[in-house]
Structure 1
Amino acid sequence: MKAKTNSEKTNLHPRNLDRFGYNFEQLINVSPELQQFVAVNQHDIDSSYSEQAKQTIDFSNPEAVKELNRALLIHHHNIQDWDIPQNYLCPPIPGRADYLHYIADLLATTNNGIIPEGELVQGLDIGIGANCIYPIIGNSAYGWSFVGTDIDENALQNCKKIIASNPKLMDPISLQLQTESRFIFKNIITPEDRFAFTICNPPFHSSQDEATKSSLRKVNNLESRNVITKTTKPVLNFGGHNAELWCEGGELGFITQMAYESAKYPMQCLWFTTLVSKKENLSSIYKTLNKVSAVEIKTIDMAQGQKTSRIVAWTFMSPAQQKAWKFE
């Protein structure tokens, strides 16, 4: 029987470099350390797919995910030295790339359908974490520049190491510590700043207990689909520092604060955006954005594998002001 090739993942953005799945042969070639984490997916063991198509990693193992990310960053983005400390969030790169591709489409809507590129297109990454993923991908794909902020100084120090190890990132990426954790844009956006967009992957949970239960559900889901073998320490397998995973008020509280603060900088950012994991939070978010007089609100659905998420974007600029925004 003829081996099947990887089919396109239609739930990923058309410009996503991983929309045809992971080519582990190529990834191992650029990063041999990945080899030890690659195995045959038990779910496909009796299928007619090729051996390569059946390969996967244990996505509940943070070391495996980190090695996969390192290989993807080398293969797609020419990042030669990347690492994160233990217990920090190691995000799946295809999903993060999708967010940026949809931002690119959003910016094109007021730029005659043309995606604006180059370092004069500046994004603000709220909660950059220790991984620096959004700025790396955004700069590689579109040449954009970024300001990355976080309340965690250790996370920013790791981003500095990544940037210093990859000199091409030094000019387009700058970092800024948010010294007051209750604020998001205050202390960060200055009167001279002009951001084409903001991005954010907010803390989803309202407590550490809720975050732990969510991690357990993820592992149970992977086990039920035979994607991973059973583990004795499922809760510890998903990376994520406290500030990355939960905050008082959870996702809704964080985004509500973001919406209220964004209204204080209406002409300094073309599009404010955030990921929204929980669909039930949308109606409250819309109400808040209407309350702060957002001129336009957009919701962009995204899906990666078993997970469904969405981007909510809003602007305080009229259609004429949006058209007048200069990307050069």
Structure 2
Amino acid sequence: MHPRNIYNKRLNFNALASEFPEFKKHTTLDLKGQVIMDFKNIEALRILSKILLKKDFNLDVHFPPNGLVPTIPLRLNYILFIEDLLKLTNHNKCVKGLDIGVGASCVYPLIAAKKNGWQMVGTDINAESLNCAQNNIKNNNLAHLIEVVKVKEETILEEVLKQNSVRYDFCMCNPPFFGNPNELCSQLKRKSNRSPPKNAFSAEMHEVITIGGEFTFVSKIIDESSEFQDRIRIYTSMLGIKRNVKLLLQKLHKIPAIKSAISTEFHQGNTTRFGIAWTFDDCIQLEQLPINSDKKEKCGKPYVYNIKPFVGNTEEVGKQFTNIFNDLQLKHTPVKTDNENVVVYDIIAHGDTWSHSRRKRRELAHSSKCQSKTFIKDAINNNKDSSRVNGEKSAKRKCDYVMETVKRVKTEENIFLACTLIIHISSELHIELVYVNGSGGKNACHQILQYFKNHLKF
């Protein structure tokens, strides 16, 4: 959870039940006399969100009976993320934001306006949702800061941005996550390696399902942002499915006009959501935002390898690892330590240069051999050998392509793997490789450690 989130500590249900009778009737006492609530009870969730908005933001918000019940800690996490992004813009004037898919509760604009005094425009395709949102704005006397606009389903940004020449500081979006009811049902089912959903599900279908799911929806925002560019200084969106983060970042990195793009995570209880942000403004360096600074501590156990007995010194160890780093074209930065028997490197890989390395060397050797006229002449007289020649030429082209790809990827911002190598030198050599991040995932970290095992000569 964001460090400034007021819900960082567990909610005091005892105090809430004492202050709000409407909440108390949805609670019970456990064996220790503590007040607990049933998160599977939709009405209890609805009341909890209502009283948190009232208690912490002085907002009176109505949620439609069958509509989406917003979890307030998550919504506040997203608002705080945008606050951090705006600090990078050096913009001290009135902030103007655009909420794509404002929904019936209008919760993001209400919190943003009440907490920060931001001017907000919310868009939606559903007339009933907009009517409810308008009533929530009116009931909280925030019409001077919040406007809601009905837009067509065919476009997302175009309709509202072409109405006037207003320049927005940011846009935000909590898109429908799923592409069809089957996807929704599969996500709601318990998976063997995960805890079951803690909260009851409550939402209208149009609030959680859209054609193509969140990937298609956010891809459309990206495409339209390329047309309007600096009309919005920072574009953002929330995501509910982790795999889409990588796919959408890849799409963003392919657009030359985009100056920077980042992702983050929103943690609240057992729920994790994801966020992405991008900008066309070269004065805004989104990478400077210190997000997920505790990522290393959350990476789990390191990959470990021991060589014993070990006879050697720090210089020999450093030389062998440096040679491997150079062979694999890994960016490696030594990290100072207080212990002379501990060597630490921060490692960044921009592509997979270690997989099947022995096979690649063999293919290159064979392809060189194919250049021999005698070899080619003998191969022509034998269909089987002829096929091998063609295969080796193809292999050479493949290897050349791999090497060119590695060179190209090194100039890009995409990180395939970032990890930390920790080497303890004593009577044995203890190697730890800690995964940090990167599109290659933890499997890439494991593969590099296996490469070390095969190539270290102690």
In structure 2, relative to structure 1, the CA distance for the partners of 1:172 and 1:30 (3 Å cut) is farther
| Cα separation, 2, equivalents of 1:204 and 1:128 | 15
Counterpart code for 2:259: V
Is contact 2:18–2:24 with CA below 8 Å preserved after alignment?
no
- Give unmatched runs, 5+ long, in structure 2: 287-458
Aligned equivalents of 2:232 and 2:7: distance in 1?
30
1:186 to 144, 147, 158: 158
Matches within 5 A, 1:146-157: 146-157=120-131
Q: 2:11 aligns with which of 22, 26, 30?
A: 22
Amino acid at match of 2:167: R
Match for residue 69 of structure 2 among 90, 106, 110: 90
3-state secondary structure, aligned to 2:266? strand
Amino acid at match of 2:10: G
Offset of residue 303 of structure 1: 1.2
Q: Is the 8 A contact 1:30 1:75 kept in 2?
A: no
2:42 is the alignment partner of 1:62 = yes
> Given that residues 267 and 317 in structure 1 are in contact (C-alpha distance below 8 angstroms), is that contact kept between their aligned partners in structure 2?
yes
Asked if 1:107 is matched to 2:86, the reply is yes
Equivalent-residue separation in structure 1 for 2:165 and 2:19 (angstroms): 42
Moved more, 90-99 or 237-246: 237-246
* Matched residue SS, 1:90: coil
Q: Distance in 1 between matches of 2:110 and 2:28?
A: 28
Amino acid at match of 1:21: R
List 4+ stretches of structure 1 deviating above 6 A: none
> What residue in structure 2 maps to residue 296 of structure 1?
260
In the alignment, what sits opposite 1:134? 108
Structure index of larger Rg: 2
Q: In structure 1, what is the Cα distance between the partners aligned to 2:3 and 2:128?
A: 35
Of 116, 122, 139, the residue aligned with 1:165 is: 139
Correspondence 1:1-328 to 2 at 5 A: 12-40=1-29, 51-52=33-34, 55-79=35-59, 81-111=60-90, 120-167=94-141, 169-178=142-151, 180-190=152-162, 191-217=164-190, 237-292=200-255, 293-319=257-283
TM superposition shift of 1:257: 0.7
Q: Quote the Cα distance in structure 2 between the aligned partners of 1:184 and 1:270.
A: 17
2:45 partner amino acid = V
Is the contact made by 2:88 and 2:285 (CA closer than 8 Å) also made in structure 1?
A: no
1:25-50 CA distance string (max 9 Å, x none)? 44334432111112356xxx6xxxx7
Check whether the contact 2:95–2:169 (CA below 8 A) recurs between aligned residues: yes
Higher mean displacement: 32-41 or 67-76: 32-41
Residues 68 and 203 in structure 2, CA contact (< 8 A), matched pair in contact too: yes
Aligned to 1:19, what secondary structure does the other structure show?
coil
CA distance in structure 1 between the aligned counterparts of 2:40 and 2:284, rounded to whole angstroms: 47
Supply the distance in 2 between the matched residues of 1:92 and 1:56 (Cα, whole angstroms): 17
3-state SS of paired residue (2:159): coil
Distance 1:35 1:240, change over 3 A: same
Displacement of 1:172 in angstroms is 0.9
Aligned residues, how many?
Answer: 283
* Conservation of the 8 A alpha-carbon contact between 1:270 and 1:315: yes
Deviates most, 305-314 or 32-41: 32-41
TM-score (norm 1): 0.79
Contact 2:69 2:203 in 1 (8 A): yes
Long gaps (5+) in structure 1: 1-11, 229-236, 323-328
Contact 1:27 1:75 in 2 (8 A): no
Greater shift, 27-36 or 267-276, is seen at: 27-36
SS in 2 for 1:210: helix
CA distance in 1 between counterparts of 2:275 and 2:285 reads: 22
Residues 164-187 of structure 1: per-residue CA shift (max 9 Å, x gap): 2111x1211110011x21211011
Distance 1:212 1:87, change over 3 A: farther
Give the whole-Å Cα distance in 2 for the aligned partners of 1:246 and 1:107: 30
Tell me: CA distance 1:286–1:161, structure 2 relative to 1, closer, same or farther (3 Å). Answer: same
